[in-house]
Amino acid sequence: MNFTLKIWRQKDAKSKGEFKKYEVKDISSDTSFLEMLDILNNDLVHKGEEPVAFDHDCREGICGMCSLHINGHAHGPEQGVTTCQIYMRQFKDGETIVVEPWRSAAFPVIKDLVVNRGAYDQILQAGGYVSVRTNSVPDGNAIPIAKADADESMDAAACVGCGACAATCKNGSAMLFVAARVSSLAKLPQGRVEGARRAKAMVAKMDELGFGNCTNTGACQAECPKSISIAHIARLNREFLSAKLED
Amino acid sequence: MALKLDSKIPAGELAQKWSNHKAAIKVVSPANKRKLDIIVVGTGLGGASAAASLGELGYNVKVFCIQDSPRRAHSIAAQGGINAAKNYQNDNDSVYRLFYDTIKGGDYRAREANVYRLAEVSNLIIDQCVAQGVPFAREYGGLLANRSFGGAQVSRTFYARGQTGQQLLLGAYAALNKEIHNGSVKSYPRHEMLDVVIENGEARGIIARNLVTGEIERHGAHAVVIATGGYGNVFFLSTNAMASNGSAAFQCYRKGAGFANPCFTQIHPTCIPVHGTQQSKLTLMSESLRNDGRIWVPKKLEDVQAIRSGAKKPSDIAEEDRDYYLERRYPAFGNLVPRDVASRAAKERCDAGFGVNETGLAVFLDFKTAIERLGKDVIKQRYGNLFDMYKEITDTDPYEQPMQIFPAVHYTMGGIWVDYNLMTTIPGLYAIGEANFSDHGANRLGASALMQGLADGYFVLPYTIGDYLSHKIQAPKVDTSTPAFDEAEKAVREKIEHLLSINGKQSVDDIHKRLGHIMWENVGMARTKESLTKAIAEIQALRKEFWKDVKVVGTADSFNVELEKALRLADFLELGELMARDALNREESCGGHFRSEHQTEEGEAKRDDENFVYAAVWEYKGMDAEPELTKEPLNFEFVHPAQRNYKD
Amino acid sequence: MSCFLSNSSLGRKLVMSISGCFLVLFILFHMSMNVVAIISADGYNAICGFLGANWYALAGTAVLALGVLVHFVYAIILTIQNRRARGNVRYSVTVTEKGVDWASKNMLALGFVIVLGLGLHLYNFWAKMQLVELLGGHTNALGYSPADGVALIRYTFSQWYYVALYLVWFVALWFHLTHGVWSMFQTVGWANDTWYPRLKCLSNIVATLVFLGFAAVVVAFFVSSLL
C-alpha cells in the first residue's frame, strides 16, 4: 500500500511548526501505524534528514505513551485502541493521512508530534493516591469488596493517562482523566477514606493548570482508547460537590 | 584482579534468615535520614516502589525515568498476575511451596536465601497493593480471586483482568506521587542516566541527559539504585518496550560492577508470531491463556501443508489428527509447564516441520475445548481483552479459529550481581528488580517478575540500604564538582560527539536489526559452541562497523531520539557479546539456557550440577578485551537439585 | 463555599446546571400557559391578568431575568476559558466523534439564537404587556389592553415572518434542551451508564414537548388568521 502523509513538524517548543508532506510506499497492510512511521523515519535518516519525533513505547496499548491525532481522531480512526494498535489495513490505499500532535494549552509541543503531558502527573500528585505507608496495612482479605464495585473500579483504573481526553475535548478539559482516578478509588473502601480530600485537591490542580470546563459532550469517552465512560465524570461531580457542600 | 564476591547470606535456618538479617543490620535515625540523598534510576515496579518507600522513610530521593512519566515504565505491560503464598484457595500452598516452585522453576541456579525471602514477603505485597486501592479481581463473596499459572500446581496468582502489571505499577506510582507531593521525592522524567560516578570505590551519583534539552546534568547522592529493567532488546525484536534498554546496568558493569549470568534469557512461549521484515515489536499474549487454551500442531505433515496453503482451516483438523504435544510429553503439568519448557517444545515441533504459518514458525493455542466446556461467555469474561487484542493485530477471530503463537524474547534473568542486601560489587550502588540477577535463576516463573520488583522495592531495599547508609551519616552532601564527576561528564560528552560525527551510511535501526538477527539465530532458544563462537566474532565485527559506519542525525543539544537509540545500541553491541561469552562458558543446559550439546535423550535440558552450580559473574576489562569470570558458588542446603520433572 | 461557584470549574458548571434547571421549569410553565390560549382565550387572559404588574409577578420576572443573565454570563465565561484551554494552534482536521450529539458541541451558538429570539419575544410581548402596566399605561402601542394577551398573539402570528422566526427559535430551543436537560443531571452527578439512555430519553421528551407546545400555539393562530 502507498500513502501520502501530512505530518506536523516543529523544531522545538519555541519554533513555529508547519505541515510537511511525505510519501511512503510498499507498506504491508499488516504493518502497524507506528511501524509505518518507523519505516518513514529510517528513510529520512538515510537521506540525512531528521526523523519525525513521536512518543511511543510498549506498542501494546498499555503504557499510554503514544499519542497522535490522525485524520481528526485522537489515536486514529479505530475506537477503543491506542495509536500503536492501529494497522494500515484500516486505511485506504493511496490515502492522504494527516498526523498532528495533541493540541491543548496544557500539553505544549516539545518537538514535532511529541507533547509535554506533565500536567497529568501533577494532577495525580495533588491527590491521586491512598495515603498508606509501606507495610502498615491490614491483610488483603480483611476488607471484602463487592465484585461489582471492584469491577467498576477496574473499569476506571484502566486509564492509561495518554491525554486523548483533553486532546479531543473541544474545551481542553481533563475531566475524564481526573474522574477515572477519583472514581476508581471512590468505589473502593480503601479509597473512600480520603475521597473528599482527593476530589477537591485534584479538581483544584486541574483548574490551576489551565484545563477547560467539561460541557458533557462525551467526545472524550468516544476517543478514549480504554472506552472509559463519562459515568465516572458524574461520580467525580458528585464526589466534589458533596465534599464542597460539607465545607 | 578477580571480583570479591561476598553474598552476605545470613546463617541459620532458611525460614529465619531474613528475620535474623533484619535484626542484625543497622538502621538510620529519622534525623539522619533527612541528611541522606538517594538516586533511583527507573520507575517500574522496583524503582517506583523503592523510591516511594525510601521517601516515606525520610530520605531525600531523586527518581529518574526516560519516559514522559514514571507511569510508563514497562512493568505496566505485564498482563497475567502476581504470585503470593496466601493459600487463600486452601490448596495447600505455603511460603515453602512458593519458594520451592520458584527455585525449581529457575532450574536450581538461584540462591536459596534470596528466593525464600522473596516467597516470604510475597504475602505482604498483596496486602500493600490492596491497601493502595489496586482493584484485584474478586469473588462474589468480596474476597480476592486467584488463577493458576505455569510451573505451579496451586492457584496463587492474583490478578486485575489482563492488566495486573498496569494496576500494580499505578499503585506504586501513586505511592510515588504521594511522596512527590510530600516533597521527599523529586521526579526527573525524560532523563536518561548515561554514567554512574564512582569515587574512592563508592557510588557517588550519576551523569544524566535531559532528553528534551540535551543538557548533561550531574546528580550526586549517598547511594544509587539501579532499577532499569532487563536487556531483552539486545535481540531487537522482543516483547520489551521500544525504549527498554540495558545501558544503565551496562554503565555499572563498565565501572566495575559484576554482571551475573548474562546468558539467562527467557523466551516466552505465547507471543504473536513475526509477520514481516518491517516489524519493530513483538506482542505477548498472557501466559494465563494456557490455563484454558490447549497447544497443538497437526500430527500429519500434509495437514500442515494444507493449513499453510489455506486449503484447510485449523478448525477442520480432526481431534485425532492433532498433536497436543505438551499434554503428550508432560502429563502432570500439561499446558502449564514452565515457560522455557513450553518454548523449547514449540521450537522442537517447528524444527521438525510442523510449524503452522507461512514462515513455519508458529503453533496453535486453541480454546475450542474450553469454549465447549465453559461457554463462550466465561471465556470472554476471562480473556476478552486478550482475544480482542489478538484479533486487532492478526485480523483473525480467536473464538472461531485457534490463535497462532510462537516464542519470543521476554525477560532477562541475568543482570547486575548483587549480594543479599541487593548491593552490587560497588559499595553504595544497588540493583533491584529485573536489573539484578538474584531471584529467578535460569528461568523465571510466570507472575514472579511483578513479585520480585515489588518485593525488592517495598520490603527489601528500604531495610538493607540503611545498613550501608548508617555509615554515611557524617558524610556531607555529595560535591558534584570533583574530578570524578568531571571525568564522567567529559566521557559522556565525548561519546555523544563521536557518535554524531561518524556520519556513516547505516541507521541505528539497520545495525540493531542485524545484531538482533545474530543474537536470535545464535544465542537464542538453542545454543551451540559453534553458534556462540560465531556470534562473538560477528558481534565484534558489527560493533566495529557501528563505530565506523553509523549515521546519527540531529544535534546533541536537542530532543534527539536517534542519538538516544545510538547510545543504547552501543551498549547492546557489547552486552550481546557478553551474553554469548557467558553462554559459551556454561557448558550445560539449564532453564532458559539450552545448549544443544547438553540434552537428555528425550530432548530435555541436561544440567551439570558437578561443574556449574554457580553464578557466573563477569568483570569488565575494556570494550575489546575479554571479561574476567568469577564464580559465586550456589550452596543448596535445604533443597536438593534434581532434574526438573513436569511429567508426573 | 461561595467562592467555589465561581473559581472552580465544577462549581461554575453547577451554576449552569441549577440556572438551566430553573429555566427549563419556567419554560415548561410558559409552554403550558400558552397552550391555554388555544383552548380558551378568556382563560389565557385570566392568567395574563394574574401575571400583570403584581409584586409576585414582578419578583418572578426579576428572578427569571437573573436566571437568564447568570446562565448567559456563565456560558460566556466558560467558553472563553475553554477556548484558552484549547490553545492557540487548532487541529487542521476535526470530526464529530462517534456518539457525540451535534447540539452538545454547539450549545453557545444555540444559546445565542435563543437569546436573540428572547429579545424579539420581549419586544413583541413583554414590552407590550407587563412593561406597559408597569409604566402605568392602559393601552399598548398596538391599541390593545396590556392584559389582552390573546389579541396580541393573534396579531403577532398573523404575520408569516414572525411565525417563521419563532419556529426557528423553537428549533434552537429543542436542540439546546436535548443536550441541556440530561447534562444538568450529569453535572450534579445524578447519572450513570444505566441512566444515560433514560435521561437522554427524558431530555428528548422535554425538548419535544416544549417545542410542540409552543409551536402549536404559533401555528394554530397563524392558520386561524388565514381562515
C-alpha cell at B169: 505499577
3-state secondary structure of B107: coil
For residue C124, what are the domain limits? 2-226
Q: Where are the alpha helices (DSSP H) in B229-375?
A: 247-254, 301-309, 325-329, 339-349, 368-374
The span from the CA of A175 to the CA of B565, in Å, is 36
Backbone phi, psi, residue A87, to 5°: -115, 155
* Residue of C4, C85, C100 lying closest to A244 (CB–CB): C4
Give me the pLDDT at residue B642, please: 85
Q: Which of B417, B379, B427, B418 is nearest to B400 (CA)?
A: B379
- Subunit contact A60:B462, Cβ cutoff 8 A: no
Give me the pLDDT at residue B35, please: 96
Strands laid side by side in the B415-416 sheet: B415-416, B259-260, B614-619, B628-633
C-alpha cell at B17: 534468615
Q: Give the residue on A whose Cα is nearest the Cα of B77.
A: A62
Please, is B508 exposed, middle or buried when counting C-beta atoms within 10 Å of its C-beta (0-12, 13-18, 19+)?
Answer: buried
Angle subtended by helix axes A147-157 and B164-182, to nearest 10? 70
CATH number of the domain bearing residue C108: 1.20.1300.10
* Residue of A48, A153, A161 lying closest to B71 (CB–CB): A161
What radius of gyration, in Å, describes the C-alpha atoms of chain A? 20
Percent of chain A with pLDDT over 70: 100
- Residue A64: count other Cβ atoms within 10 Å of its Cβ: 27
Give all chains having 3 or more CB-to-CB distances under 8 Å with chain A.
B, C
Chain C residues within an 8 Å CB radius of A244: 1, 4, 8, 11
pLDDT digits (tens, 9 = 90+) for B200-235: 999 999 999 999 999 999 999 999 999 999 999 999
Whether the complex's predicted ipTM surpasses the cut of 0.85 = yes
- Residue B29: count other Cβ atoms within 10 Å of its Cβ: 11
Give all chains having 3 or more CB-to-CB distances under 8 Å with chain C.
A
CB B406 within 8 A of CB B413: no
The span from the CA of C79 to the CA of C76, in Å, is 5
Give me the pLDDT at residue B55, please: 98
Please provide the distance, in angstroms rounded to a whole number, between the alpha carbons at the two ends of chain C.
Answer: 59
Q: Give the residue on A whose Cα is nearest the Cα of B49.
A: A134
Amino acid code (one letter) for B3? L
Residue B283 backbone zone (phi > 0: left; psi -120 to 50: alpha; other: beta): beta
Give me the pLDDT at residue C1, please: 45
In what helix (H) or strand (E) does residue B546 lie, and over which residues does it extend?
helix B529-549
Smallest CA–CA distance, residue A246 to chain B, in Å, is 24
How does the average pLDDT of chain A come out, rounded? Answer: 97
The span from the CA of B351 to the CA of B343, in Å, is 12
Is B607 annotated as catalytic? Answer: no
Backbone phi, psi, residue C165, to 5°: -60, -45
Of the candidates B218, B254, B294, B339, the residue annotated as catalytic is: B339
Smallest CA–CA distance, residue A155 to chain B, in Å, is 9
The DSSP code for B447 is T
3-state secondary structure of B619: strand
Amino acid code (one letter) for B262? P
DSSP string across A73-120: EET-SSSS--GGG-BGGGS-TT-EEEEE----TTS-EEETTEE--HHH
pLDDT digits (tens, 9 = 90+) for A88-109: 999 999 999 999 999 999 999 9
Amino acid code (one letter) for A115? V
The span from the CA of B294 to the CA of B77, in Å, is 24
- pTM for the model stands at 0.96
Q: Which of A4, A190, A35, A165 is nearest to A99 (CA)?
A: A4
- Subunit contact C8:A172, Cβ cutoff 8 A: no
* Residue of C9, C98, C190 lying closest to A207 (CB–CB): C9
The span from the CA of C62 to the CA of B625, in Å, is 90
3-state secondary structure of B83: strand
In this prediction, residues C10-21 reach a mean pLDDT of: 96
In what helix (H) or strand (E) does residue C2 lie, and over which residues does it extend?
none
pLDDT digits (tens, 9 = 90+) for C95-119: 999 899 999 999 999 999 999 999 9
Give me the pLDDT at residue B277, please: 80
Give me the pLDDT at residue A108, please: 96
Is residue A1 less than 8 Å (CB to CB) from chain B? no
What radius of gyration, in Å, describes the C-alpha atoms of chain C? 20
pLDDT digits (tens, 9 = 90+) for C34-56: 999 999 999 999 998 888 878 99
Q: What is the β-pairing status of strands B223-226 and B37-41?
A: parallel
Residue identified by cell 558458588 is B633
- Subunit contact C82:A219, Cβ cutoff 8 A: no
Q: Where are the alpha helices (DSSP H) in B162-257?
A: 164-182, 247-254
Q: Which of B632, B621, B635, B625 is nearest to B1 (CA)?
A: B621
Amino acid code (one letter) for A235? R
Q: Do chains B and A touch (3 or more CB pairs under 8 A)?
A: yes
**If contacts are CB pairs under 8 Å, which of residues 204-233 in chain B contact chain A?**
212
The span from the CA of B116 to the CA of B15, in Å, is 7
Chain A residues within an 8 Å CB radius of C14: 241
Q: Where are the alpha helices (DSSP H) in B316-443?
A: 325-329, 339-349, 368-374, 376-394
Q: Which of A77, A81, A57, A61 is nearest to A69 (CA)?
A: A77
Amino acid code (one letter) for B584? L
Q: What is the β-pairing status of strands B185-188 and B157-158?
A: unpaired
DSSP string across B408-424: EEEEE--EE---TTSB-
pLDDT digits (tens, 9 = 90+) for A196-247: 999 999 999 999 999 999 999 999 999 999 999 999 999 999 999 999 999 8
Give me the pLDDT at residue B500, please: 98
Is residue A154 less than 8 Å (CB to CB) from chain B? yes
Q: Which of B61, B74, B77, B56 is nearest to B188 (CA)?
A: B61
The ranges of chain B with pLDDT < 50 are none
Split into its structural domains, chain C has a count of 1
What is the CB-side half-sphere exposure of residue A113 using CA atoms within 13 A? 26
Is residue C87 less than 8 Å (CB to CB) from chain A? yes
CB B607 within 8 A of CB B595: no
Chain B residues within an 8 Å CB radius of A190: 130-133
Which residues fall within 8 angstroms of residue B200, CB to CB, at 6 or more apart? none
Q: Give the residue on A whose Cα is nearest the Cα of C107.
A: A215
CB B125 within 8 A of CB B82: yes
C-alpha cell at B425: 560489587
Q: Where are the alpha helices (DSSP H) in B106-193?
A: 112-132, 164-182
Strands laid side by side in the B216-220 sheet: B191-199, B202-210, B216-220
Strands laid side by side in the B223-226 sheet: B185-188, B60-64, B37-41, B223-226, B429-431
What are the C-alpha distances in Å from B587 to residues B42, B263, B606? Answer: 34, 12, 10
Is residue B553 less than 8 Å (CB to CB) from chain A? yes
Q: B83, B138, B396: best mutation site toward chain A, by most A Cβ within 10 Å?
A: B138
What are the C-alpha distances in Å from B404 to residues B281, B286, B301, B619? Answer: 17, 13, 17, 41
* Residue of A125, A128, A130 lying closest to B131 (CB–CB): A130
Residues facing residue A32 across a β-bridge: A87
* Residue of A104, A215, A247 lying closest to C104 (CB–CB): A215
The span from the CA of B238 to the CA of B411, in Å, is 9
Give me the pLDDT at residue C2, please: 54
What are the C-alpha distances in Å from B383 to residues A226, A229, B152, B370? Answer: 16, 21, 20, 12
Give me the pLDDT at residue B1, please: 61
CB C204 within 8 A of CB C178: yes
C-alpha cell at B503: 556520519
Max CA-CA distance within chain A?
A: 64
